[in-house]
Structure 1
């Protein structure tokens, strides 16, 4: 079977910041990670393990202190801020624990928002594209509803539709079910996985929740800034569910 195209590569990536006393804080240490189109990868780690920092590097929101981040073969360090923002807007969709929806604006308006900065073809079709994506996540009858009149699960579906409306190649989900009950959270993750599979996107779920991680096909553990592939997570996840 033909192997999928490599989307993003991290080689020996480190991220260090200076504390107020000028002491270095090593957040990420020698990260190696390759993501291909169509992958669904879970990165499991406790609070403070460096998960959000890793997400920022994967999403081109930040640059590493050391090592190399390549997005579609291009070294992120060789892209200026504007070029990285353009690549991020075209290729990356973010789904956060906090839905970050615009209050007072309809679900349709929220999903159309990313298309205001799309190419002319998508810009002029933004209402139709947003409506189609809301229909795909099961909210065709809630398009004109504002966020405070939607349930938590419905708000998360709007956030997913907004993240996917530009058909990104990489979807980064940061604790996407943390604000939801278990049943709704699992339903949202299955939806996210199904939509990603349909579009051929790589899906990365960064979580501490084993119930969420079990839906991925590739499992990694992040501990004190060190990332290791951990196939045993799939077994421990199954044991936790028994």
Structure 2
């Protein structure tokens, strides 16, 4: 079942005294429930712009984006914000944890904007999610007392605590060493699969991209399928 679809999506920026800057060119992408897709691209390829569109933060210049078969362009700003808050979880390279707040308080933060049982049970839900990422014993620890891998796991718990249907991971291992990064990615994939969420990993690292089930390359605004595992086999450590 399709969860998110992009059809003929472009994104351009008007420049003074110059032709428009075309950042994305005719992007087509279909993401199903429970899917794990990776998008690999170098700096300047349009990854951040695409992330904003996938996360319902922006509208395309042309083309159509649908979430649950509903056109995003037909939603009001408030409707899109509510859809994003309910359904999309973001994980970033920089953990963006709140200083002066415990791991538990950081994970509880998204639930402050929830309603009903999610709001009233926010502490227990946050504790349960910390347990799922193996950090229930560190619930009262401040971010600066946690290792990089632990901080990223807190960020994962925070992104997943509202039960999003789509998880967007933007360079999720960029601030971690190789071994810790591999552990974090395995955990992210495991938790996403257990919850039935779709996972889109956006990265420049071909090794991280290879962990997904479907792989794409973004180059000069054009998105196309790529055989990442073949690239790894031919040129270990290379970027497609």
TM-score after normalising by structure 2: 0.96
User: What are the within-5 Å matches in structure 2 for residues 1-242 of structure 1?
Assistant: 5-230=1-226, 232-239=227-234, 240=236
Structure 1 position 18, deviation (Å): 1.5
List per-residue Cα deviations over 1:27-50 (Å, max 9, x = no partner).
Answer: 000000000011100001000000
Structure 1 position 22, deviation (Å): 4.6
Structure 1 position 211, deviation (Å): 1.3
Asked whether the equivalents of residues 186 and 211 of structure 1 are also in contact (C-alpha less than 8 Å), the reply is: no
Structure 1 position 241, deviation (Å): 5.9
Structure 1 position 235, deviation (Å): 1.2
Structure 1 position 127, deviation (Å): 0.3
User: Are the structure 2 counterparts of residues 241 and 45 from structure 1 closer, same or farther at C-alpha, using a change threshold of 3 Å?
Assistant: closer
Unaligned segments of structure 1, at least 5 residues: none
Asked whether the equivalents of residues 13 and 31 of structure 1 are also in contact (C-alpha less than 8 Å), the reply is: yes
Unaligned segments of structure 2, at least 5 residues: none
Structure 1 position 21, deviation (Å): 3.5
User: Are the structure 2 counterparts of residues 200 and 238 from structure 1 closer, same or farther at C-alpha, using a change threshold of 3 Å?
Assistant: farther
Asked whether the equivalents of residues 68 and 75 of structure 1 are also in contact (C-alpha less than 8 Å), the reply is: yes
Structure 1 position 119, deviation (Å): 1.9
* Aligned counterparts of 2:157 and 2:19: Cα–Cα separation in 1: 42
More moved, 20-29 vs 197-206? 20-29
Structure 1 position 237, deviation (Å): 2.3
TM-score after normalising by structure 1: 0.96
* Aligned counterparts of 1:83 and 1:238: Cα–Cα separation in 2: 45
Asked whether the equivalents of residues 94 and 172 of structure 1 are also in contact (C-alpha less than 8 Å), the reply is: yes
Asked whether the equivalents of residues 219 and 234 of structure 1 are also in contact (C-alpha less than 8 Å), the reply is: no
- Runs of 4+ in structure 1 over 4 Å off: none
